A and B are shown apart, each in its own frame.
Chain A
Amino acid sequence: MTGAGIPVWLAWAVVIPVVAGAALSFLGATGLISLKSFYDRVHAPTLGATLGGFLIVVGSIALPLVVEGRLVLRDLLIVVFITLTTPVTFILLARAAVYRDRVEGNADAPEEA
């Protein structure tokens, strides 16, 4: 385990964003099972994908910074990539679901715009 030599308040400052990000991801996953229709559920995991991932990466950038004084910004690649791809995947998935529901004549398909 790294980070034995740093002050305790700095350890808390690293840990709190990571736990908050993981809690947001968990909250998004609970929405995935508690919401009733597919069109409600498709919103829930974006909570963990955007702010949850951002907070965890903030912690993973801060840890080498406070332990070794080393600034590693490549973890930001993960945030940039998730933020760009999540809306694309979910809009494609939602459009596929709308198409399937309309073809089958399901009542919960959204109205034609």
Chain B
Amino acid sequence: MTAAAVLDGGLGLAQLLLVLAMVLAAWRILRGPRAQDRVLGMDTLYLNAMLFIVVFGMRSGSTIYFEAALIIGLLGFAATVALAKFLMRGEVIE
């Protein structure tokens, strides 16, 4: 096996595992049963999407994907905190 084949296959396997994790998180969003379960599923979904984009950037050799992953991390954190606040109080900003 050549080095390029090892890198391509290994990173492809990592991407496949991350996509399967995203599918499981999406299943939790759809099934619920309660609102906090859906928020937890969304949090897992964006974390795995961020890691998927990091691996995608490794495969393509481009540095643009790092910024995309960082922005997803920042916005996902804000979204989950806002949703947790909403579940607790019924308002995001009081």
- The contact sample of 14 A-B pairs, CB cut-off 8 A, is A12-B6, A21-B14, A22-B21, A25-B48, A45-B47, A56-B55, A60-B55, A60-B57, A85-B77, A86-B47, A89-B77, A93-B40, A95-B88, A96-B85
Contact, CB under 8 Å: B44 / A19: no
B20 adjacent to chain A (CB < 8 Å): yes
Contact, CB under 8 Å: A22 / B44: no
Contact, CB under 8 Å: A49 / B7: no
Chain B residues whose C-beta falls within 8 Å of the C-beta of A25 in the assembled complex: 17-18, 21, 47-48, 51
A74, B65: Cα distance in complex, Å: 12
- Selected from A1, A60, A96, the residue in CB contact (under 8 A) with B87 is A96
A95, B37: Cα distance in complex, Å: 13
B92 adjacent to chain A (CB < 8 Å): no
A1, B5: Cα distance in complex, Å: 9
Interface of B: prevailing SS: helix
Contact bitstring B15-27, A, C-beta under 8 A = 1, else 0: 1011011101101
Contact, CB under 8 Å: B84 / A96: yes
Chain B residues whose C-beta falls within 8 Å of the C-beta of A29 in the assembled complex: 20-22, 24-25, 44, 48
List A residues 51-78 near B (Cβ within 8 Å).
52-53, 56-57, 59-60, 63, 72, 74-75, 77-78
Interface of A: prevailing SS: helix
Contact, CB under 8 Å: A15 / B11: yes
Task: Tell me, rounded to whole Å, the shortest Cβ–Cβ distance linking A45 to chain B.
Answer: 4
List B residues 27-50 near A (Cβ within 8 Å).
27-28, 34-37, 39-41, 43-44, 47-48, 50
A11, B6: Cα distance in complex, Å: 6
A96, B87: Cα distance in complex, Å: 6
Chain B residues whose C-beta falls within 8 Å of the C-beta of A1 in the assembled complex: 4, 7-8, 59, 61
Task: Using A56-B55, A77-B70 as known contacts, say yes or no to A26 and B10 having CB atoms under 8 A apart.
Answer: no
